Amino acid sequence: MRGPTITKSALFLGIMASLTSSGCVRYYAGLGYTSTWQASRTTTQSYAAPVQAASPPGLILDTQGSGEGWVTGSTATTAATAATTSIEAVSVSGSSGASTSTTSAATSTASATSRVSLSGSGASGCTSSCGGALVAEAPRGEVVASLGGLCGAGAPVEGGVARLSDLDALAGLGGLAGASTLYADANVRVQASLAHDALPASGGASGVVVSVEGLAPPRVIAPLRVHLVIDASTSMEGAWLDVKTAALAVLGRLRAQDELQIVVYGSDAREVLPPIAVGDGQAAREVIRGLRYGGRTNIEAGLRLAYGACRPAGRSLVVVISDGVPQGGLSSPDELGALAAEANASAGAVTLAIGLGTEFHTGILAALGERGGGGLEILPRSSELAALLERELAARGAIVASDLDARIDASPGVVLGGPARSHAGALTAGEAVRFVVPLETDHSGPIAHVRLSLTLASGQPLELEASLSTGSASAPVPAGAMAASLDLSLAEALRAAGQLVENGDGAGAAMRLRTYVTEAQASVPSPSAAVTARNEAVLRIATGLPGFVAEASWGARRQAGASFAARSFVIEGR
């Protein structure tokens, strides 16, 4: 059994799904530690490609200047045409429905194009029922035996092609299959379950999973306060126009009654726009157009100004934008992450961390995103910032519950793998929070007692309880909540492996991923096809890592480490 660590295996976790069509998910951990990733985000999966066409959620369209191209996604039914510098068009059937959407990029001026046939699990003509990622039948040379290839189109290894993008979440959004419903109305549904329906009489490993799902929004939607915390150091010169464009895009998304605060930080921090109602937006536009950069990087000062102005009950979204490392104030992931965790626990404030370019401090931004609840975004191209922020605001639904507090009381003979209590600031319509805590038991039968309290949008407090037990069987029998536990473990393994890759320890990273597969196989004696396919994909990545890391430059290792961290958020919540 894994011992308590600062990673997710030792903590309560939860998933939140956003209002986008493909979903965004957020795991909540004890003491407010959280992380997120958006399924429609594509930049980390192929950062080496110079061109990336706009695409529907779940579909990645990339080409290289050589004319080689690839298409990946969760579902697809037709062919795509790859030009020298763009994808001309593609049609896909979304996994959540039968409707077809088409994405177009500017037509290439090059005369030569190549047809790329989509296939899934080795079969052409795949429909939305196919599992796993779809990969185009690409020209030779598209996959590259390197860390960049592994994090992009793929890298050849013994047993096939290794791709970080082959790793997707098992857990679906919404309710848990076979779980007990503790409460449900038009806005909120609460369920509780164990990761196993049955265990041997001698017990084994399992986990408690509590799901709180936001359904329809309340009739009255309270104002949202957005806090833009912008790195204004000298290194931001090249991205500054894009940053201002993105700030204007945020302003355009907000309602008149919503509020905006803008903080810029360089050698110190300045509140250039105090939290005010947007109204007609004229005052904020003037401030944004007059923004200037210069100085060093004191991210602590910027965070403190924003967190000091957060609204209660989860009605604040803090967006931190940075392209570098701290050069003043607090400078460690633990210290800065603690600020985000405190704001999340005390006010339900959600912190989204955005890294521009390739020189930002991955550990710091990941800590802010995990412990602040909004996750980590990696944008090699600052021109994508405006579109990203517009998606984030579209995903912020109406608050349907706040002050979620979960407590797990273990039965005699049961040892929890983390703190017995956790807190989540707020839940919006269209989101689902899952609290997960691993455990070890020496018996089947009664396992744990769950207590959950929350405040509904109406202000009514709600307290719920449930006793959870397993049946007895000769081997573990997974329940519907097992997928959430496996996702949690893999996300943890990817974060640890990414740090080892960045430090140059490819063998250690490979061992960490293989350890996850061994534990997953022990947890699910008769795995589904999806579990088996993902385990095989993890092993292919582990096979290639030692050699790829040994040959990679420091910059390549750093980028790959960030990609592993970002992919962990996908696993926690596509």
Greater confidence, 324 or 463?
Answer: 463
Which residue from 474, 521, 523, 479 is spatially nearest to 200, judged by alpha carbons?
Answer: 474
pLDDT of residue 440: 96
DSSP structure string for 476-505: -EE-TTHHHHHHHHHHHHHHHHHHHHHTT-
CA atoms of 274 and 272, how far apart (whole Å): 7
For 505-523, write each residue's pLDDT tens digit.
999 999 999 999 999 998 8
8 Å CB contact between 231 and 269: no
**Both tokens of residue 68?**
């080689």
Q: Say what percent of the chain tops pLDDT 70.
A: 74
**Both tokens of residue 281?**
């937006």
Greater confidence, 67 or 469?
Answer: 469
Backbone φ and ψ for 426, nearest 5 degrees, come out as: -160, 160
Read off the pLDDT band of 18 (50, 70, 90).
very low
Read off the pLDDT band of 58 (50, 70, 90).
very low
CA atoms of 368 and 62, how far apart (whole Å): 29
Read off the pLDDT band of 537 (50, 70, 90).
very high
**b/e code 523-541 from CB counts within 10 Å (16+ = b):** bbeebeeebebbbebbbbb
Which residue from 266, 277, 227, 267 is spatially nearest to 247, judged by alpha carbons?
Answer: 227
* DSSP bridge partners of 409: 449
* DSSP bridge partners of 160: 157
**Global model pTM greater than 0.75:** no
DSSP structure string for 246-293: HHHHHHHHS-TTSEEEEEEESSSEEEEEEEEE-TTSHHHHHHHHT---
CA atoms of 239 and 291, how far apart (whole Å): 13
The most confident of the ranges 201-205, 371-375, 395-399, 525-529 is 201-205
DSSP 140: T
Instruction: Average the pLDDT over 541-556 and give the result.
Output: 94
Which domains does the chain show, CATH number per domain? 8-39+177-219+398-480 (2.60.40.1230), 225-395 (3.40.50.410)
Instruction: Average the pLDDT over 143-166 and give the result.
Output: 92
pLDDT of 304 > 80? The answer is: yes
CA atoms of 449 and 468, how far apart (whole Å): 6
pLDDT of 491 > 80? The answer is: yes
Backbone φ and ψ for 234, nearest 5 degrees, come out as: -60, -30
* H-assigned helices in 331-449: 333-347, 362-372, 385-395
CA atoms of 261 and 42, how far apart (whole Å): 28
pLDDT of residue 1: 31
Which residue from 331, 332, 307, 333 is spatially nearest to 318, judged by alpha carbons?
Answer: 307
Which residue from 128, 126, 146 is spatially nearest to 136, judged by alpha carbons?
Answer: 126
Backbone φ and ψ for 496, nearest 5 degrees, come out as: -65, -40
Q: Say what percent of the chain tops pLDDT 90.
A: 47
For 385-399, write each residue's pLDDT tens digit.
999 999 888 877 788
CA atoms of 176 and 189, how far apart (whole Å): 11
Which residue from 507, 441, 448, 447 is spatially nearest to 202, judged by alpha carbons?
Answer: 441
CA atoms of 574 and 209, how far apart (whole Å): 18
Read off the pLDDT band of 175 (50, 70, 90).
low
What is the C-alpha R_g of the chain? Answer: 23
For 244-286, write each residue's pLDDT tens digit.
999 999 999 999 999 999 999 988 899 999 999 999 999 999 9
Give 512's contacts (C-beta < 8 A, 6+ positions apart).
493, 496, 497, 500
Q: Is 459 exposed, middle or buried (0-12, 13-18, 19+ CB in 10 A)?
A: exposed
* DSSP bridge partners of 190: 183, 212
**Both tokens of residue 320?**
């931190």
Which residue from 543, 221, 171 is spatially nearest to 399, judged by alpha carbons?
Answer: 221
pLDDT of residue 60: 32
> One-letter amino acid identity for 119?
S
